[in-house]
């Protein structure tokens, strides 16, 4: 990260980083949001019963994104804080644009229960300390800012978002849940147009049909899809020979690994190298099922208790003091002005 000019406002830094805002991508269009290959009508968020949107944010992804997008910024103690500043600013942008009920899932540590299932699963061994040291800091600042934070220890931020999405969608007062992350793992949590995945940076929203168009399989098949083709970002390789095209073609027809016929002669889809793929699957079925378990988002991790826990109504009294940790005193005034619009 390059050293920044301390006199440049953070808002200008974010603007120069080409970070697309929620308003530009969703509310800036006349009642529509472009998905992959189709137009999806988002629900207007009035905050009222039956018309409520819930925004669930991948705090860890946002921290990584801002760490690599923004110039370096150290606080008075010399600690790197640019990424945390960026995430908090981004969250306030979301509030400015009308979000009422917001939850942020974060990772307290990179490791999770999945590391016990697969030795090669992603870990924090190579994590840049300047980034890793901001994990607990982000939680502290977001909580002081008044946001509901689901800090995962045994689980991952993905599990926090998936669990919160399932709980929010089960509430009759919620009309739409937006899972705000581009992570393909979370595509499995999409339900019709009620639970959708939203990539804030690209301004893309994916409902059930959008997931099929992007991956070739419906949301419920995403864990199987990842199990077969692997996920290098998470550290498991999938099965030899299987790739995105073969996995999507076969699962587009059979949905789940256990439904794929053992004999490729019984496959009623055309896949190059079907005989070898079928043989590999039969030989490594146990491994494929393990990878599917690893790729499956947990939906019962601890998140929030009541829906009102997610309603943002203002920062805590200690917010101004906490802001000193990230060298962002002006955010206190911005938070207070936002809070006045919610009272």
Q: 10-212+300-316: what CATH class? A: alpha beta
- What pTM does this model have? 0.86
**Residue burial 106-127, b: 16+ Cβ < 10 Å; e: rest:** bbbbbbbebbeebeebbeeeee
Extents of the domains making up the chain: 10-212+300-316, 219-295
pLDDT, position 40:
43
Residues 298, 223: Cα–Cα separation, whole Å: 11
Q: Mean pLDDT by 10-residue block, N- to C-terminus, for the chain (343 residues)? A: 36 31 33 39 49 95 97 96 98 96 95 94 90 97 98 97 98 96 97 97 96 98 98 96 98 98 97 98 98 98 97 97 97 96 85
pLDDT, position 31:
32
> Domain 219-295: which topology?
DNA polymerase; domain 1 (1.10.150)
Query: Among all chains, which residue has been given the structure tokens 């120069």?
Result: 16
pLDDT, position 48:
53
Query: Among all chains, which residue has been given the structure tokens 């083709």?
Result: 229
pLDDT, position 76:
94
Q: What are phi and psi of 188, to 5 degrees?
A: -70, -15
């Amino acid at each position: 990260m390059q050293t920044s000019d301390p006199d440049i406002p953070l808002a200008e830094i974010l603007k120069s980083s080409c970070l697309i805002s929620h308003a530009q991508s969703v509310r800036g269009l006349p009642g529509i949001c472009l998905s992959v290959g189709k137009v999806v009508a988002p629900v207007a968020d009035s905050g009222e019963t039956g018309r409520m949107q819930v925004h669930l944010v991948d705090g860890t992804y946002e921290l990584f994104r801002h760490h690599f997008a923004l110039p370096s910024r150290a606080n008075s103690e010399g600690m790197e804080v640019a990424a945390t500043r960026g995430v908090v600013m981004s969250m306030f942008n979301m509030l400015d644009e009308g979000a009422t009920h917001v939850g942020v899932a974060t990772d307290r540590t990179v490791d999770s229960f999945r590391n016990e299932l697969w030795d090669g699963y992603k870990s924090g061994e190579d994590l840049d300390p300047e980034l890793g040291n901001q994990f607990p800091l982000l939680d502290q600042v977001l909580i002081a800012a008044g946001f509901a934070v689901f800090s995962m220890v045994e689980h991952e931020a993905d599990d926090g978002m998936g669990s919160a999405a399932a709980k929010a969608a089960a509430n009759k007062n919620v009309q739409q849940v937006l899972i705000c992350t581009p992570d393909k793992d979370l595509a499995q949590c999409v339900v019709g147009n009620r639970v959708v995945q939203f990539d804030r940076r690209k301004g893309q929203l994916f409902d059930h049909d959008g997931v099929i168009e992007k991956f070739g399989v419906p949301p419920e098949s995403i864990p199987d899809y990842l199990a077969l083709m692997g996920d290098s970002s998470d550290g498991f390789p999938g099965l030899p020979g299987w790739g995105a095209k073969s996995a999507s073609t076969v699962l587009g027809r059979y949905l789940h690994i256990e439904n794929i016929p053992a004999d490729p002669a019984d496959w009623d889809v055309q896949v190059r190298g079907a005989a070898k793929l079928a043989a590999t699957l039969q030989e490594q079925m146990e491994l494929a099922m393990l990878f599917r378990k690893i790729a499956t988002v947990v939906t019962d991790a601890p998140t929030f208790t009541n829906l009102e826990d997610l309603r943002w109504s203002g920062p805590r009294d200690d917010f101004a003091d906490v802001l000193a940790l990230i060298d962002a005193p002006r955010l206190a005034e911005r938070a207070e002005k936002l809070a006045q619009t919610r009272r």
